[in-house]
Amino acid sequence: MAFDKWDKRFIELADNIALWSSCYQDNRKVGAIIVRDKRILTTGYNGAPSGITSCVDKGECLRRTLNIPSGTKHEMCYAIHAEQNAVIQAAKMGVSIDGATLYCTHQPCAICSKILINAGIKKIIYKEPYPDEFALKLLDEANVELIQYKE
């Protein structure tokens, strides 16, 4: 697939939004943008829910402390995934994301994939792969277009 200047802009913006993450580990800073018709509908980054102390402020990553392998036990983390936060923001603000595209720094996990499918996301463009084969199966079965961004 040939990417255009808009894809590049939205991926770069997702990278920038990832910097807002309150995840303790630099390699897990994730940013997401939901777009329709070249218009940004919502954004999200991974971080602790409102009112919960973040891992950065705690000075440790719970997953690393408990030695939890990547791609497993997503519930054992203080952070909400960037994709989830983008969908939550849409719900909170009353913004329909049905038929939209998600730009994300990382491929969504299975939990995020199920949420995105039911929210009506039709295309996902991501940069970094994620070790979750089940997510790929879900997105394929739901006919969500999944494209890795490469310059």
Cα three-residue angle 46-136-75, rounded to 5 degrees: 40
- 35, 103 in Cβ contact below 8 A? yes
**Can 75 be counted among the known catalytic residues?**
no
Report the sign of the C-alpha dihedral through residues 99, 94, 55, 18, in that order.
positive
Q: What gap in Å lies between CA 13 and CA 146, rounded to an integer?
A: 19
Out of 12, 60, 75, 83, the active site residue is: 83
H-type helices in the chain, by residue range?
Answer: 5-18, 55-58, 62-65, 82-93, 110-119, 133-141
Cα three-residue angle 140-26-69, rounded to 5 degrees: 55
Residues marked as catalytic: 83
